[in-house]
Amino acid sequence: MRIQWFPGHMTKAFRMMQEQLAQVDCIIYVLDSRAVFSCLNPKFDALTGKKPVLYVLNKCDLVEREDIEKWLAYFASRGEKCVAADSLNGRQRENIVGILRQLNAAVIEKYRLKGAKKSVRAMVVGVPNTGKSTFINNLCGSRKTVTGNRAGVTRGKQWVSLADGVELLDTPGSLPPAFEDEKRALHLAFIGSVKDDVLDIEELAAEMIAYFAKNHTQAFLDRYGIEEIPKDIEERFEVVARSRGFVLSGGRIDYARTARAVIDDFRRQKFGRIMLDLPEEI
């Protein structure tokens, strides 16, 4: 399945980020914990330059803690700052603010010696639907940015201030202009970082079933009460459709509804807390 989605507003977003880079002290790089590696956008590497970076494994409540620990160890081994965050609450607020101050200790001290108090300014980046705006709202303790559980909600820059002397710049989610790794593209589509409207949902569901035929197979079998995942694509849709009652008059299979159900079941954790990317697979 070939996936490509890079609308015009993403080009504008990158341009805006580049223009604002001189105005910020550091970068907060928000990643969806279900697909950490796939959420790493190579274009952000050039954008961040020499700015300090804090990686945030967001939506950590959607995966197993032991898998999160693997990624925390991975980033630590590279000498990079990384924290796990549940996008539904702000329990990591004090820890994250503390790390931002630590990353920017030198510039804070520089201003202190001049008798001035320095606010830490951080640009928040990430691919679409990683929960950047919700993450910011949780840090602020109020709804200051536009949020939504779909790709492409944030379209322009939004500055918000924390009471702790920290200012955050929310930016639109942006994907790479081209996907060189089909597996990473699929994983982004699975978690909703690629707009569903530009995808063939039945083909995407077929890819998802193929994933479960190789990984977490028992969870898939248990969800639909079946004994095995057939090798034939049409038979795979048929067993799921009959399990869910998605059969039309004359015994015909409702492929569209079945495909939508498989994708939604994954996104709603009906198969359990599944992490698509593991550091040992890099």
Q: State the sign of the Cα–Cα–Cα–Cα dihedral 259, 279, 151, 130.
A: positive
Residue 2 lies in a domain: no
- Among 149, 170, 191, which residue terminates a domain? 170
Q: What is the pLDDT of residue 11?
A: 79
Q: Which residue has the tokens 């549940």?
A: 86
Better-scored residue on pLDDT, 154 or 230: 230
Same domain, 86 and 212: no
In the chain, how many domains are there? 2
Say if 1 falls within a structural domain: no
Residues 26 and 165 placed together within one structural domain of the fold = yes
For residue 184, what pLDDT band results from cuts at 50, 70 and 90?
Answer: very high
- Judgement on whether residues 28 and 126 belong to the same structural domain of the protein: yes
Rounded to an integer, the average pLDDT of 127-138 is 90
pTM of this structure: 0.90
Q: Which domain does 132 fall in, by range?
A: 8-170
* Position 281 pLDDT exceeds 50: yes
**Co-location of 21 and 129 in the same domain:** yes
Q: How far apart are CA 279 and CA 27, in angstroms?
A: 22
> What pLDDT is attached to residue 151?
43
Q: Report the CATH number at residue 210.
A: 1.10.1580.10
What DSSP letter does each residue of 188-242 carry, written as one string? HHHTT-S-GGGS-HHHHHHHHHHHHHHSSHHHHHHHHT-S---SSHHHHHHHHHH
pLDDT at 43: 84
